[in-house]
Amino acid sequence: MVSHELDDGVRIAQLLASDLVGHEDGLADVTVTDADPDVEPTPNGARAYRVRAADRPLAVVFVHPERARIVFEAGPEATLDAARDAGLRVRPKATEPPRTVVFVENGAEVKRVLRVVEAAVSA
């Protein structure tokens, strides 16, 4: 049986970007900026694009060979809680200012990430 699970970091990031700009409800003001169309995944993660809402920075998306990583700048506590509630792999980043890191392991998790972005917008 062939696995149809999407686990390529670049494709996951592309799918997320498409969902972010195509989603209306709580994400109508969200934009994808500074996108690198030629980004190549690296083991440490290469920056693919930034996510903003009404000119306010929300997150930066990085691509790895097998996943995408989102570093949320806005609402670290709200995004941490939303990611946990969505069943995503997440960890707080003890920096100043604090950040939340969410790992998107496959394409099926992209829809759940939208709830985390909504939490960042509302924070």
How far, in Å, CA of 78 to CA of 112, rounded? 14
Q: Grade residue 22 by pLDDT with cuts at 50, 70 and 90.
A: confident
What backbone torsions phi and psi does residue 112 show, to the nearest 5 degrees? Answer: -70, -30
Q: Where are the domains of the chain?
A: 9-122
pLDDT over 90, % of the chain: 81
Distance spanning both ends of the chain, measured CA to CA: 43
What CATH number is given for 9-122 in this structure?
3.90.1150.20
Residue 93 pLDDT exceeds 80: yes
**Structure-block tokens of residue 90:** 């997440």
**Residue in this structure with the two tokens 């990611």, named with its chain if needed:** 83
Residue 24: the pLDDT is: 67
- Rounded to two decimals, the pTM is 0.91
Helices (H), 8-109: 9-22, 76-85
Helix (H) or strand (E) holding 116: helix 110-122
10 Å CB burial of residue 108 (0-12, 13-18, 19+) is middle
pLDDT tops 60 at residue 12: yes
pLDDT band at 2, cuts 50/70/90? very low
